Chains A and B, each alone.
Chain A
Amino acid sequence: MAQLSRRDFLKVAGATLAGSFASQKLNPLRLKDITRPNIIIILMDALSANHLSLYGYPRSTSPNIDAFAERSTVFHKHYSAGNFTTAGTASMLTGMLPWKHGAFMGGGLVRPEFVDTNPYTLLGSDYYRFGFLQNTWADYLVSQYNHEVDRFLSPFSYDLVNENKLLNLLKNDRTMASIATNDFLFSMEGTTSPPGASVIGYLNKSYVLNLANAQKSARYPKGTPEAMSGIPFYNEEVYRGVYKEISRLEDQGSPYFSYFHLYSPHYPYRPRADYRKLFQDKYAPAKKPAHPILTGLPENYLLTQRSLYDRQIAQVDHEFGKLISQLGKDGVLNNSYLILTSDHGELFERGFLGHGDLFLYEGALHIPLVIHSPKQTKREDIFALTSNTDILPTLLSIAGKNPAPNVDGRILPAFGGAEEDADRPIFSVYAYDSSTFAPIKKAVLSMRKHTHKIIAYLGYTPEKIFELYDIENDPDELVNLAFKDVKLLNTMKDELFTHLDEANRLFANR
């Protein structure tokens, strides 16, 4: 074999280097890989399945989602693993339960050893990857793998204030920049920021609220919706932005994964004037018993807020309908999976409004999941129990990628997964009062299995309270069976604690 001269060696080395640079530079221009479908996730924050007409709510809140469901796969018993944004979103993205991924505090992050388990990293550069997360806590989570996102919008991109330019400038430290600006420098709370920052925080709040006040118009007489940090926005503009971004993704020439985490119908509920007239009915939901630990708001106030929430859902549903119609006309739905879901639900019961806190009732955990497959024309209904930890394994399956390591979730039925595992337990975790870096000792846990659901309060006073409900026959969770069916309670309790012990064992060697 002829020996390689120095000149030839330099040529080869130069060509290799040039080739590797060129492949990186040309990556965005790669040709469309028609074997891989596009994946679009539209997540509506705090959208409870229990408030959608699709799932049997008596008010007609979601006619457009209902129509979309007629050519999609509808999951009827889909649960979030967390009852607020950080825990729920992190579970969807990592495929893990909160007691494993560790992001169970407001604005918390996924444990470093699990950061690479996410759709952006695992789908890889075969996909053009996009993110727009209006909720800053969700934005922090995706910021952890900022370098894996090809186009990552600021949470304020389609809001009524200028976007946070610092996030674009400090790309390698996006998480820190985001936390520093939102939680400290421009914090409008006054209790969490350092005293010196409260002047900047005050000026920020004054600017934002004056702006929001100025936006009050005939369309929004009671003010516009506001994202976290009080940033005002119009749902119309945000959904117009979603359409614009999807059109842009369609044009860029390769399969894409896009995740839109949209803030509405999250509190504060401020529907447009034409939607404020809806639901002037006498609808009165079942009166729930008191919470075993907490007491709170009067029933009348909860009813008023419930109606506002339902109206906000109706407006968001309308915007979603317009978006689907436009995407249908453009042919986007012929080659894309479109997933409609939420990160957690919302409660208006037992003196409590909203989500999070010690409330793991159905309204807070039962979330919608509707998946439209490319060219799907018929509706399919799935009644198996599913968890939002199943989203990541399912995404990887439909993208033809290897299964994710360490995940708790499974591929969804109808998307390559087992049709139904009747013995599967579905867990949800609220561990805001526990440390991410130690075994969980103070938490509220729930486990849904077969027809029943157990809720366990650990580390709170009074100690070791349990609730047991027959969800199939008592979906409103009115009758606590904990004292009536002690045998079943003990069986479910043992299974729940066995899984918690397994999760806590992660810390055994630290």
Chain B
Amino acid sequence: MLAGILFLDLTLFLAMRNKVEFQTRSILVLLAILIPAMWRLVLFQNYEDSSVFVSGEITWWAIAAAIGLPLAIFLPKIDWFKKLFEGIAERCIVFLYIYLPISFISLIFVFARNIY
């Protein structure tokens, strides 16, 4: 997902690329993917809706992109919004320091138990 965000920044957002808005824009792109994905999973829990799920996929993601991408472009330009998101990002980064080493240690354990 991170690679995707970087890719977007080097292609679609290339014209407006600057370091000041990158953080907020990346969070918004992430939310623009996560929220529609979660929402749609919750909406289609019934087995009998499976063909509707498949047939409506393109429309769903087109609408999600039509709403999400402009928001990702324009919301970072609002100063208080940018500060809010950067504040959240600053506070959340601590989880990376916890999760990354724990995940790494867990992976070593799993490989040790099952492969060697």
Contact = CB atoms under 8 A, between A and B. Distances in A.
A binds B: yes
Interface of A: 169-173, 188-191, 195-196, 198-199, 201-202, 205-206, 209-210, 212-213, 216, 223, 226, 230, 267-268
A172 B37 contact: no
Interface in B33-51: 33-34, 37-42, 44-45, 47-48, 50-51
The 9 closest A-B pairs by CB, nearest first: A190-B41, A202-B37, A268-B47, A190-B42, A198-B38, A213-B54, A170-B114, A209-B50, A172-B114
B20 interface: no
A267 to B, nearest CB: 7
A199 B48 contact: no
B40 A190 contact: yes
Contact of B47 (A170, A171, A206, A267): A267
Given A171-B114, A172-B114, A199-B33, A190 B38 contact: yes
B114 A205 contact: no
Nearest to B33: A199
B51 to A, nearest CB: 6
Interface string B95-116: 0000000000000001001110
A189 B41 contact: yes
B53 interface: yes
Contact of A223 (B39, B42, B51, B115): B51
Given A190-B42, A199-B34, A201-B41, A173 B113 contact: yes
Contacts of A209: 50, 53-54
A212 B110 contact: no
Of the listed residues A171, A188, A190, the one surrounded by the most CB atoms of chain B closer than 10 A to its CB is A190
A267 B46 CA distance: 11
Contact of B50 (A170, A191, A213): A213
28 contacts: A173-B113, A189-B41, A189-B45, A190-B38, A190-B40, A190-B41, A190-B45, A191-B41, A191-B45, A196-B34, A198-B34, A198-B37, A199-B33, A199-B37, A201-B37, A201-B41, A202-B38, A202-B41, A205-B44, A206-B53, A210-B54, A212-B50, A213-B51, A216-B51, A223-B50, A226-B50, A230-B47, A268-B47
Nearest to A170: B114
A508 B50 CA distance: 48
Interface of B: 1, 33-34, 37-42, 44-45, 47-48, 50-51, 53-54, 57, 110, 113-115
A212 B51 CA distance: 9
A191 B42 contact: yes
Contact of A169 (B44, B47, B54, B114): B114
A205 B53 contact: yes
Contacts of A188: 41
Nearest to A174: B114
A135 to B, nearest CB: 15
Contacts of A212: 50
Given A198-B38, A226-B47, A268-B47, 12 more contacts: A170-B110, A171-B114, A189-B41, A190-B37, A195-B38, A199-B34, A201-B37, A206-B53, A213-B50, A213-B54, A230-B50, A268-B48
Contacts of A189: 41, 45
A216 B42 CA distance: 24
A1 B39 CA distance: 83
Nearest to A180: B110
A169 B50 CA distance: 31
A170 B110 CA distance: 8
B57 A206 contact: yes
B111 to A, nearest CB: 9
A243 to B, nearest CB: 28
